[in-house]
Amino acid sequence: MVRRSLIVSTIALIAAAGLGYGAAQLFQDRPAAPAPASEKDGVEHGDHGEAGLVPLKPADAAAAGVSIVTPGRGGGADILLPGRVTLAANALAALGAPVSGAVERVHVSPGAAVAVGSPIATLRSADAALGRASLDAAGAGARAAQAAASRDRRLFEAGVVSRQDWETSQAAAEKAQADQRAAQAQVRAMGGAGANGATVLRSPIKGVVTRLDTQVGGFLTQGALVAEIADPSRAEYVFDAPAAAADAIRLGQVIHVQTPDGQEAPATISAVAPGASGGNTAVVRATPSGKTAPVGSVVSARVMTGANAGGAIIVPSEAVQTVEGRPVVFVVEAGGFRATPVTPGRIAAGSTEILRGLTGTERIAGKGAFLLKAELGKGEAGHED
């Protein structure tokens, strides 16, 4: 724990100093434990104990300014898509009044967090009371008809009544049960009102109450809006793309979204709708792979058109660092970040193709990878001393 804290502190100092003179002094002042020389994949280690390994947990690295990203795949042209963070289609619910009635109680206020089934408001409705009374009457009729059918069956078996009489009473019992089911469905549609006509309106989703259009003593007509609930944790990215490029953008393609704070967040394209917004623009939707910026934030993403599962592996250009004269990418492992040698290819608009060295399934250091390079270099300097 002490070791990891020291590394995080060192990385933060290096980032603040821009790898200038202060960083150099930091490297010189820190003693390095002697370690035997070794080589793995062409990258030697210093005082970190393993070849090319920076023993730092991803969470600690993120706190120091190092982002963790997943490689994408591409092979076509690179385009920049402007976009925004919006609620997913199933993350917003409008709660309406299922029956006309007076508002007896309001259980929440705007901004309140609610769970599925949380009470929002209570109505008292004459229509709901009538529906409940109909259900009670239908239930009583069904029980009486079933009792009559059972009695006629016993009498038929005893030879007292004819089969026709028994079958008639059985049909009447089945009709009474159907009437009861219809009355039950009507009461459920009215919100499950009690005998007094009180109906509790409940939230259909978990989230936050963003709008409340009722107050105690008010009267609501059937279908009137009571409240709106949104789940901010179920967000998605929506981008505007040139209609001509829509056919070249593939479902399932991994993209890297630039958030307002300068971080990169991976996302997967889930829908492409040419002409959905009219004109020569296509709407591209992407599902976040992790935490997103707040709803309403303006974002952007670079997309390799023509990308497919067999295309080249694409990483942010800043993920590729040079260690001992060789290009490397820092890959997340159980013990920290491993400097993995790679063969870079084409560079376009902030992205670099990786021809060899990665499988595309790894998690790697993106923005801030130079901090890990500096930490690795510090260990090498200590080893040379």
Return the bridge partners of 298, or none. Answer: 84
Helices and strands (H and E) in the chain: how many:
6, 26
Separation CA 319–CA 296 (nearest Å): 28
Distance of alpha carbon 310 from its chain centroid, rounded?
Answer: 27
pTM of the model: 0.53
- Among 2.60.120.10, 3.40.50.720, 2.40.30.170, 3.40.50.2300, what is the CATH number of 78-88+234-304? 2.40.30.170
Separation CA 378–CA 366 (nearest Å): 20
Length of the chain: 385
Return the bridge partners of 105, or none. Answer: 122
* 359 phi/psi in degrees, rounded to 5: -95, -15
Q: Retrieve residue 71's tokens.
A: 């490689």
| CA atoms in the 13 A half-sphere facing the CB of 382 | 22
pLDDT at 173: 92
pLDDT at 331: 92
Helices (H), the chain: 2-17, 21-29, 58-63, 126-157, 163-189, 369-384
Contact 301, 351 (CB under 8 A): no
Separation CA 307–CA 256 (nearest Å): 13
pLDDT at 379: 59
Separation CA 132–CA 152 (nearest Å): 30
pLDDT at 121: 93
Domain 92-125+197-231 part of CATH 3.30.43.10: no
pLDDT at 190: 80
Return the bridge partners of 82, or none. Answer: 300
Q: Which of 376, 332, 340 is nearest to 356 (CA)?
A: 340
Q: What is the pLDDT along the chain (385 residues), one digit of tens a residue?
A: 444 554 445 544 444 444 343 333 333 343 433 433 333 444 444 444 566 788 888 888 888 888 888 887 765 567 888 999 999 888 999 999 998 999 999 999 999 999 999 999 999 988 888 888 888 899 999 999 999 999 989 998 888 889 998 899 999 999 999 999 998 888 888 877 777 888 889 999 999 999 999 999 999 998 899 999 999 888 999 998 887 777 778 888 878 888 888 777 888 899 988 866 566 788 999 998 878 888 889 999 877 765 444 567 888 888 899 988 899 999 998 888 889 999 888 776 577 888 888 888 888 988 888 888 888 877 555 555 5
Contact 242, 281 (CB under 8 A): yes
Domain 126-194 part of CATH 1.10.287: yes
DSSP state letters, 74-132:
E-S-EEEEEEEEEE-GGGEEEEE-SS-EEEEEE---TT-EE-TT-EEEEEE-HHHHHHH
| CA atoms in the 13 A half-sphere facing the CB of 9 | 9
Contact 61, 369 (CB under 8 A): no
- Topology (CATH) of 2-74+311-384: 2.40.420
Q: Where are the domains of the chain?
A: 2-74+311-384, 78-88+234-304, 92-125+197-231, 126-194
Contact 223, 100 (CB under 8 A): no
Left, alpha or beta for 249 (phi > 0: left; psi -120 to 50: alpha)? beta
* Amino acid at position 302, single letter: R
Contact 123, 222 (CB under 8 A): no
pLDDT at 141: 92
pLDDT tens digits, residue range 85-118? 999 888 999 999 998 999 999 999 999 999 999 9
Average pLDDT, the chain: 80
Q: Do domains 2-74+311-384 and 126-194 have the same CATH topology?
A: no
Distance of alpha carbon 75 from its chain centroid, rounded?
Answer: 28
What sign does the CA torsion over 245, 246, 250, 256 have? positive
